[in-house]
Amino acid sequence: MAVEALKVSGVEKRFGALVAVNGINLSVLQGERRALIGPNGAGKTTFFNLISGTLPLSAGTIQLWGRDVTRLPDWRRVRLGLARTFQRNNLFMSLTTFENVQLAVQRQQQVSYNLLRSARSFQAINEQAQQVLEQVGLTGRGELKVASLSYGEQRQLEIALALATKPSILLLDEPTAGMSLAETGQMVELVKSLPAALTLLIVEHDMDVVFALSDRITVLHYGQVLAEGTPEEVQHNPRVREVYLGEGE
């Protein structure tokens, strides 16, 4: 029986008179690849911020693995297995690639550097950091300063930082935004290679990427769910074609 990883019920977010998210219901199963699409201003990133806990809800509830996390801060949600990337790189540009991942692993293991800790504990952190770099295809780039990486490699590193927290649910916010065609292809292959048990919720504008990665698609319009279904169902939905894909009947 499929396990529900994420459940969103009646979620709303109001900024004064502006209703950015208006009564969204969403259920994502363990291991599912769910894409979240919609025109600019549809409320996608705001919705991600609500799920991750960086914004408080105006109404509704959010559950992770059956636990109500509506009022939990973002760091508590991370401890429960939720991780995310951002539209813009959120990296330490002056540090090396390895040091960025090392810090993320250190935080995940709740380790702080001090002279009383055994060297073995730091060795475990370093080994895990190296494994994460290998997982995202950045082997051999660990000693480079992040500022010297290509844009595509920096986006790969964003995913590495998220994976370093050992998430069970990963939110990817525009993972291919600003990438070249070649970089986009590499990112698609990277996302495809992630463990099958890892639940993914992806905000993405590139429809080729959406259709390549998603099991199901949820379409947002003015902060509400316009449609939901398999890629084929959404692609042939007349309302979606009119509102999002720009095609009249």
How confident is the model over 151-180, as pLDDT tens digits? 999 999 999 999 999 999 999 999 999 999
- What per-residue confidence (pLDDT) applies to 246? 62
- What per-residue confidence (pLDDT) applies to 41? 81
- What pLDDT digit, counting tens, does each position of 54-92 carry? 999 999 999 999 999 999 999 999 999 999 998 777 798
| CATH 3.40.50.300 given to domain 1-81+167-249 | yes
Which tokens go with 19? 């209703």
Q: What gap in Å lies between CA 208 and CA 197, rounded to an integer? A: 23
Q: Select the more confidently predicted residue: 132 or 116.
A: 132
Q: Select the more confidently predicted residue: 90 or 50.
A: 50
- What per-residue confidence (pLDDT) applies to 245? 59
Q: Indicate the domain borders of the chain.
A: 1-81+167-249, 92-166
Angle subtended by helix axes 97-108 and 151-163, to nearest 10: 20
pLDDT band at 247; cut points 50, 70, 90: low
Residue whose C-alpha is closest to residue 48's, from 36, 33, 58, 66: 36
